[in-house]
């Protein structure tokens, strides 16, 4: 399971950071999403799914590889 982000779409809502702070951060420069890790631990997979669902701008998705 891999988290894929497209920063061009990010609107800096912070929903991902609130859902899974161990996976996501926001840049100091432009407030957009930063990935702490692209491969969530098994325990964090549910939280990464929630983050993807809550992301308002569809900047996040999950890949199966």
Q: Which residues in this chain contact ligand SF4 in the complex, by CB under 6 A?
A: 10-16, 26, 33, 55-57, 59-60
Binding site for another protein (CB under 8 A): 8, 11-15, 17-19, 21, 26, 28-32, 50, 53-54, 56-58
**Minimum distance from CB of 34 to another protein (Å)?**
11
Closest CA to 15 of 52, 62, 44, 43: 52
What CA–CA distance (Å, rounded) separates 12 from 26?
Answer: 7
Closer Cβ to another protein, 43 or 65, answer by number: 43
Q: Which of another protein, ligand SF4, none does residue 62 bind (CB under 5 to 8 Å by kind)?
A: none
Spatial contact of 21 and 50, defined as CB atoms under 8 Å apart: no
Spatial contact of 28 and 39, defined as CB atoms under 8 Å apart: no
């Amino acid at each position: 399971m891999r988290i894929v982000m497209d920063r061009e779409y990010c609107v800096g809502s912070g929903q991902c950071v609130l859902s899974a702070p161990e996976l996501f951060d926001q840049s100091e420069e432009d407030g957009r999403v930063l990935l702490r890790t692209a491969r969530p631990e098994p325990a964090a997979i549910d939280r990464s799914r929630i983050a993807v669902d809550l992301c308002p701008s569809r900047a996040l998705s999950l890949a199966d590889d």
